[in-house]
Structures are given as C-alpha cells and as structure tokens.
Amino acid sequence: MTSDAVEFPGYIAGTWEIDPVHSYVGFIARHLMVSKVRGRFNTVEGQIITAENPSASSATATIDMTSVDTGNAQRDSDIKGAMLFDADNHPTMTYRSTGIRRKGDAFVADGELTIKGITRPVELEVEVGGFGPDPFGGTRAGFSATGEIDRTEFGMNPELKLPTGGVVISEKIQLTIEAEATLKT
C-alpha cells in the first residue's frame, strides 16, 4: 500500500474480517520435477486492518491445515501426515504481517508465517482489488497476494529424492491468496 490513499479509488480505513466463502488460499508445488500440483485450504479466517495511512495497514490469518484439498484424498492424507504438515500435532498455520512497503511498482507485505511451530519471514506481493458496497448493505474489500516459501525451512523436509536427481516434491512452494473481506461496523 502507500502513504497516499488517493492511489486506491474508494479506499476505506477500517477493520475487515476475511470472508472464508469468497476467499482462496492456495499453493503450487512441482511434482517429480515434471508437473505442477495445485492445492488449497478450505478453512481460513483472519483480519485485515486498512489504516488511515495505508502503509500502516496489517493482516493476520489462521489456516486450518487439515482442510488441505488437492483433489486427491490419498495425496491430501499424505500431505497432512507427519512427513509434511504433521497436522495432528500442528493443526493450523498462521500469518502476521509486520509491515507494508513499496517494491518498484508493487506493494509488499512483509510478515511472519508459522508452520509446524516454525516461524520464518515471508514476503507477499499484494494487489488491492478495491472497495465497495455489497448487495446486503455491507462493505467489501478485495486483496490478492502471491509469494514463495521453501518448505524445508518449515520442517517439511522428507528425503524424497529421485534416482535421476531432483525431488518428488519441490522445495519451493508458490503461494496464492485471494481475500475478500467485510468491513466490521
């Protein structure tokens, strides 16, 4: 975001609750070094605070690790298992922004992501979708964010090497977030 709210038509300062029905938290991982597998988390909650000075805005989110959905029940079970998410012992991951800054023409939310009890810094490139009324008398805002993590930095580092070199699951995981939020009154 920026210190000049004029850049965002209709900008509204306030506290917003993430609408889980109209939001998406997903990931992309390379599989066997030849293709990409996509997944999403079906349960997310959080809050976005748009400050009077947009660069002072913040966001928090909690994602239910057991809600992972890749379209394949066996793969979902494997991902939730001890080698990757260990969802029985670590049922949620959390994100907390620590600052908003410009990076060229883009905006970046610096933050802390916690998975399996391990917290690491994560940059998310943010796009403000807009602000406006909904048909129910409320006010909505939309935000998109993308980023990348190294799964091994979060203790998700099973030995999954291929005999030809490479790995079964890429270390780099792409993150995609589409958040729609409602203004708290």
Q: Give 54-95 pLDDT, tens digit per residue.
A: 889 999 999 999 999 999 999 999 999 998 999 999 999 999
Give the pLDDT of residue 172.
93
Compute the average pLDDT of residues 117-139.
96
Domains in the chain: ranges and CATH: 5-183 (2.40.128.110)
pLDDT-based confidence at residue 35 (cuts at 50, 70, 90): confident
Predicted pLDDT at 1: 40
Of 84, 120, 95, 86, nearest in space to 44 by CA: 95
Query: Which residues are CB-neighbours of 84 under 8 A, at least 6 positions away?
Result: 78, 151, 156, 158, 169
126 and 109 Cβ atoms separated by less than 8 Å: yes
Tell me the pLDDT band of 3, cut-offs 50, 70 and 90.
Answer: very low
50: CB partners within 8 A, 6+ apart:
1, 11, 12, 13, 14, 16, 57, 141
Q: Specify the pTM.
A: 0.90
- 129 pLDDT above the threshold of 60: yes
Q: Could you tell me what percent of the chain has a pLDDT over 90?
A: 76
pLDDT of 136 above 60: yes
